[in-house]
Amino acid sequence: MGMSVNEHDTLRHDPECIFCRIIAGQIPSERVHEDDRVIAFRDLHPQAPVHVLVVPRDHSRDVTELAADPQLLAHVTTVAGKVASELADGDFRLIFNTGAGAGQTVFHVHAHVLAGGKLAEGEL
Ligand code: AMP
């Protein structure tokens, strides 16, 4: 049990992690983008007209861990912008809840992309 490393590369995978299971295709999701480093899919409980999660394939806990790979963190940001342009007008809010006290419930790093409407300040 516990974390395993993909035999083909160095991607970490936790069989107990819901986002690892979505990435592996074991749980369905409505994907709007995927490439070799990240997937993006619609949030189950949208908080805006467009609410997409951008999720690195490699399992890490939160954005402070993700920052150890600045290129991957930058790629998450680029994909967020692409999703906001394709599904909305290009403007977006990017949120990384970090720690339970800040509302993080899934401990596989993900960026919330909120777009597609006038986003009130202070709601999230
Ligand atoms: P956070 O609270 O920042 O950890 O965000 C976790 C997000 O994942 C929440 O907005 C949930 O609605 C969303 N979520 C949980 N399970 C799923 C799922 N199976 N498919 C899509 N989104 C999910």
Q: What is the CATH number of the domain that holds 43?
A: 3.30.428.10
What lies within 8 Å, CB to CB, of 51 at 6+ separation is: 42, 43, 112, 113, 114
CA of 71 to the centre of ligand 1 (A): 24
Does any domain span residue 121? no
pTM of the predicted model, to two decimals?
Answer: 0.94
Tokens of 54: 């951008």
pLDDT one-digit tens code per residue, 31-78: 999 999 999 999 999 999 999 999 999 999 999 999 999 999 999 999
Averaged pLDDT for residues 15-34: 98
pLDDT one-digit tens code per residue, 90-116: 999 999 999 999 999 999 999 999 999
Is 110 one of the catalytic residues? yes
pLDDT for residue 118: 80
Question: In whole angstroms, what is the distance from residue 50 CA to residue 113 CA?
Answer: 8
Q: Is 27 in the pocket of ligand 1 (CB under 6 A)?
A: yes
Active-site residue, from 51, 108, 110, 112: 110
Does any domain span residue 44? yes
pLDDT for residue 122: 60
Pocket test for ligand 1, best of 16, 21, 26, 44 (most atoms within 8 A of CB): 44
Q: How many distinct structural domains can be found in the chain?
A: 1
Assess contact for 15 and 21: CB atoms under 8 A.
Answer: yes
Q: Which domain holds residue 102?
A: 4-115
